[in-house]
Structure 1
Amino acid sequence: MSKTCRKVLLVLVSALFLGTIFAAPCAAFEFKKEYKMQLNVGPTFYWGMGATKFAELVKEKTGGKMNVKPYYSSQLLKGAQLQSAQLVATGVIDCALESTINISPVIPECNVFSLPFFINNFENLDKMKSGKTGEAIFEAMAKKGLVGIDWAENGFRQITNSKREIKRPEDMKGLKFRVVGSPIFIDIYRQLGADPVDMNWGDAVTAFQQGVVDGQENPVGVLVPVQIWQYHKYASFWNYLVDPLIFYWNQKEWNAFPEDIKKAIKEAAAEAGRFEIALCRAGLDGDKSINILKNEFNYTMDVPEPVKFMESKGMTVTFLSDDDVAAFEEATKPVLDKWVERIGEEIYLKAKADMGK
């Protein structure tokens, strides 16, 4: 063999060897048959539709390599809704689309979104998510073995009941409300003179029908699907606290993903989050979210005007005046002060700065 031929052969062998080395990480990575995703609600709720969209987009953007399977209605938790973050952190569940309410037992900073009458509107919420507040929450998650990927939304929580119109703090006194079993919720309702009860939705419906429980609180994206008008005549839109959602993943598993897979998941979460947020806000922010759904996702809402729809079902829908909100804010200030101390003044001040307060 000539010297020239030997040189050519050596170059080819070297190139093949180096190519094998650099190709090895991607070729060697083995994807699971499925990646389990936890969420609390069913597929027909906006939250559930966001999870479905995310799973579809991950599969599309990874060329079919990844199969994210949403497990709706807390199937993986067996009713223990506040344990989702623990189970993702330990790797029992791969990922989740969860409310900050349900993440708060592991990440107390998430309670900043549940401070009573603190945020009040979509603009303030968006500033917090994209600002120092959101950054701090994702940093806190990282310390607990979780990777925060992006945001979605369950919405501002409104109140309904079967007894009377609620406009002022004194209207709450003596009423029994089904609430989320988070301590800050219990504190808020007790401070207002109401009787908060933690129960699952199935039991709550029975309690409504029997007149044992007078009311409940939930975002509009829940009120319409559960047909709340079957049980309650009065709804008050008071935006007393908000319920953001976070796409998040087990940190150890996330760190092992190739960079192109991480990028695809992030893109899927951003797109699915935008879709899901628009669903939650449709009819509540003028035409903004309706147009996002129509122009970006070719999607038309079944109920584009939820307030009018609730009224058409016989409900009395009340929007609180600024003075009314101020009265509730003053009445619940002891709860806010207590919980600022619990979650840390640092995250509270970041939120105030993000909102320009």
Structure 2
Amino acid sequence: MQPTTPARRRLAVLSLAAGALCVLGSGLAQAQTPAYRAEYRLSTTLGTAFPWGQAGERWIELVKEKTQGRINIKLYSGNSLVGGDQTREFTAIRQGVIDMSIGSTINWSPQIKELNLFSLPFLMPDYKAMDVLTQGEVGKELFAVLEKRDVIPLAWGENGFRELSNSKRPVATPADLKGMKFRVVGSPLYNETFTALGANPTQMSWADAQPALASGAVDGQENPLSVFVGAKLPTVGQKHLTLWHYVADPLIFVVNKNVWNSWTPADREAVKQAALQAGRENVEKARKGIAGTDNAVLKQIEAAGVTVTRLTPEQRAAFVQATRPVYDKWSRQIGADLVKKAEAAIARR
């Protein structure tokens, strides 16, 4: 056995110190990387009887698959994490009460004024117009706005064009709406649009809307056809339906910023790709039986004894004219440049 020299002793001390630093560095890295939660909370307004809630189910399934089970999510529909108040959802996402959401541009518009773009009356005449906005430069600009508000937007989905129904009479002109009470979502823009048409708008959550329709407390409502069918609205007196495509309701897949930053880059990409796939599938499902030449849903609605009114171009023009003051006022609030960019994109479609 060789005697220990001063040089050997110094080398041994340095080796031990290096090893201690490695252990300490590893411990610090682990302390700085938040542990994944056992479960994350995903909020939607509608449940799994509707394409919206089904999109939530699909995102959950795809995330679990693409992250090999590292990220597990539970669906909370009916905006149950905010007591059913749809308009509080976006604030709850920013605060971390909600981890993830597939949210409506309408519900989030009280906090994000630019999202009112999709609620400008009669801006988008068809599905192609909606697509050029969500999938083009306008959609990118809106995502950039959201990113500044502590959420990470990943993909677009769709609830659909909102059509009009009521229990009283067919609606083909603005005058037909006079005096009728309509349930609308909690947005001032909807109040002003229906007031301009001579109707009496009443804001309430969707949970309260169906009992109100059944009791006659309100005469009508506006929602995509998938909701009209899924909620069985003909059974609560909604016997008159007008196809007017007056506004649309895109959905946005988002994650709370802090939650997003707690995941590895690989898992972030997996969650994003899952959102993009679920979004594409959701849009396809939301339009099935409605868009283009596929009218299976309309046939189902008419078979339930509902009178369907399809507006002629001249009839639609009368609604456009009646709501133009509202359009102009809200264009300024949303941002004139953004609205002009949207109008130009639609004109080029």
TM-score by length of 1: 0.86
1:225 is the counterpart of 2:216? no
Aligned to 1:255: 261
Whether the aligned pair in 1 keeps the contact of 2:186 and 2:205 (CA below 8 Å) is no
Listed one character per residue, the Cα deviations across residues 47-96 of structure 1 (whole Å, up to 9, x for unaligned) are 00000000000000001100011111111011221111111112221111
Trace 1:1-357 onto structure 2 (pairs within 5 A): 30-230=35-235, 231-286=237-292, 305-356=296-347
Whether the aligned pair in 1 keeps the contact of 2:123 and 2:247 (CA below 8 Å) is yes
SS in 1 for 2:159: strand
Q: Distance in 2 between matches of 1:202 and 1:91?
A: 24
Listed one character per residue, the Cα deviations across residues 113-168 of structure 1 (whole Å, up to 9, x for unaligned) are 00000012110111001112111111111111111110101000000011111111
Deviation at 1:205, TM superposition (A): 3.1
Amino acid at match of 2:246: Y
Listed one character per residue, the Cα deviations across residues 320-344 of structure 1 (whole Å, up to 9, x for unaligned) are 1111111111110000011011111
Moved over 6 A (4+): none
Q: Distance in 1 between matches of 2:96 and 2:195?
A: 37
Give the paired residue count: 328
Deviation at 1:204, TM superposition (A): 3.1
SS in 1 for 2:238: coil
Aligned to 1:291: none
Amino acid at match of 2:282: E
Report the CA distance shift for 1:313/1:70 in structure 2 as closer, same or farther (over 3 A).
same
Q: Distance in 2 between matches of 1:104 and 1:38?
A: 17
Whether the aligned pair in 1 keeps the contact of 2:44 and 2:75 (CA below 8 Å) is yes
Report the CA distance shift for 1:179/1:220 in structure 2 as closer, same or farther (over 3 A).
same
Q: Distance in 2 between matches of 1:202 and 1:138?
A: 29
Q: Distance in 1 between matches of 2:33 and 2:160?
A: 42
**Aligned Cα root-mean-square deviation (Å):** 2.4
Report the CA distance shift for 1:202/1:273 in structure 2 as closer, same or farther (over 3 A).
closer
Deviation at 1:315, TM superposition (A): 0.5
Listed one character per residue, the Cα deviations across residues 197-243 of structure 1 (whole Å, up to 9, x for unaligned) are 11234543333333332111111111001111121211001000000
Any unmatched runs of 5+ in structure 1? 1-9, 289-303
Identity of paired residues, percent? 40
Q: Distance in 2 between matches of 1:255 and 1:78?
A: 27
Q: Distance in 2 between matches of 1:287 and 1:323?
A: 22
Q: Distance in 2 between matches of 1:163 and 1:152?
A: 33
Any unmatched runs of 5+ in structure 2? 1-14
Q: Distance in 1 between matches of 2:271 and 2:67?
A: 8
Q: Distance in 1 between matches of 2:61 and 2:259?
A: 20
Deviation at 1:169, TM superposition (A): 1.3
Q: Between Structure 1 and Structure 2, whose CA radius of gyration is higher? A: 2
Deviation at 1:287, TM superposition (A): 6.5
Amino acid at match of 2:212: A
Q: Distance in 2 between matches of 1:201 and 1:349?
A: 32
Deviation at 1:285, TM superposition (A): 2.2
SS in 1 for 2:144: helix
SS in 1 for 2:246: coil
SS in 2 for 1:356: helix
SS in 1 for 2:107: helix
Q: Distance in 1 between matches of 2:174 and 2:338?
A: 28
Deviation at 1:28, TM superposition (A): 5.7
Deviation at 1:186, TM superposition (A): 0.4
Amino acid at match of 1:199: M
TM-score by length of 2: 0.88
Deviation at 1:253, TM superposition (A): 2.4
SS in 1 for 2:169: coil
Deviation at 1:29, TM superposition (A): 5.7
Q: Distance in 2 between matches of 1:74 and 1:344?
A: 29
SS in 2 for 1:185: helix
